[in-house]
């Protein structure tokens, strides 16, 4: 299905242009794992592909409006938690900000510090970073004191936190990084493999 807007309301049509879910929502997301985040009257929840409300529209915000690995982040009364696809709170309302789960871990922020938790809510990587990205190919970027580096899923800093910028996540074991105004590509060992190698 494709999300579409008509008269400031959102709904979904099929590939033939037939209306599958009425144009009644204020905002909608694409479907992910069979559900879509929708907003009506200032509150967010989730519907299935028949348009049935499966998770009540009670939340103030959604992290991404989609489920990853069976969970998604929701905000209620200023705090973020994770729910499953039946709406059950799996990880309680504790955090100031959350990402989605990738490779069984999700970044979370409390006060100004970022770290990572697993699907049971256990803190795997301590909340000590200034920012963090999603895990991909076993690595996630982290930022500390204005510099970037990479950790593995146990929290070990595999690639030193020395870079001025990074270009997303590892793809096929390679990522672009910036240092001293020069961009170059490194592998998962931190070795320069192309570009303006230092």
Concatenating the DSSP letter of every residue in 143-157 gives EETTEEEEEETT--E
Provide the pLDDT for residue 196: 83
The pLDDT score that the predictor gives to residue 191 is: 93
Contacts 24+ apart (CB under 8 A), 167-175: 168/133, 169/133, 169/134, 169/135, 169/136, 169/137, 169/139, 169/140, 169/141, 170/136, 170/137, 170/138, 170/139, 171/136, 171/137, 172/137, 173/137
Q: Give the pLDDT score at 103.
A: 97
Smallest CA-to-CA distance from 18 within 28, 4, 36, 8 is with 4
Instruction: Find residue 171's DSSP bridge partners.
Output: 174
Indicate whether 139 pLDDT > 90: yes
3-state secondary structure of 198: coil
Contact 184, 197 (CB under 8 A): yes
Judged against a pLDDT cut of 90, whether residue 65 lies above it is answered with no
What pLDDT was estimated at residue 93? Answer: 83
- Cα 68 to Cα 46: distance, rounded to the nearest angstrom: 14
Stated pTM of the model: 0.86
At residue 178, the pLDDT reads 96
Q: Which residue has the higher pLDDT, 198 or 87?
A: 87
Query: Mind listing the pLDDT tens digit for each residue in 5-62?
Result: 999 999 999 999 999 999 999 999 999 999 999 999 999 999 999 999 999 999 999 9
* Contacts with 52 (C-beta within 8 Å, 6 or more apart), sequence order: none
**133's tokens:** 């990205």
Q: What pLDDT does residue 168 have?
A: 85
- 32-55 b/e (C-beta count within 10 Å ≥ 16 → b): beebbbbbbeeebbbbeeeeeeeb
Give tens-digit pLDDT for 103-112.
999 999 999 9
Give 142-174 pLDDT, tens digit per residue. 999 999 999 999 999 999 999 999 998 999 999
pLDDT score at 195: 85
């Amino acid at each position: 299905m494709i999300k579409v807007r008509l008269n400031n309301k959102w709904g979904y049509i099929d590939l033939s242009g037939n209306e599958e879910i009425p144009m009644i929502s204020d905002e909608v997301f694409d479907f992910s794992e069979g559900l879509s985040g929708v907003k009506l009257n200032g509150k967010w929840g989730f519907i299935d592909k028949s348009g049935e409300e499966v998770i009540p529209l009670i939340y103030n915000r959604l992290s991404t409006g989609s489920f990853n690995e069976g969970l998604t982040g929701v905000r209620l009364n200023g705090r973020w938690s994770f729910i499953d696809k039946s709406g059950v709170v799996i990880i309680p309302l504790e955090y100031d900000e959350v990402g989605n789960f990738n490779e069984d871990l999700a970044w979370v922020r409390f006060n100004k510090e970022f770290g990572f938790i697993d699907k049971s809510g256990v803190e795997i990587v301590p909340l000590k970073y200034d920012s963090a990205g999603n895990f991909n190919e076993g690595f996630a970027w982290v930022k500390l004191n204005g510099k970037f580096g990479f950790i593995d899923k146990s929290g070990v800093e595999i690639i030193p936190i020395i870079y001025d910028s990074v270009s997303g996540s590892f793809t096929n074991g390679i990522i672009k990084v910036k240092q001293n105004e020069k961009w170059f590509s490194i592998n998962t060992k931190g070795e320069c493999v192309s570009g303006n190698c230092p």
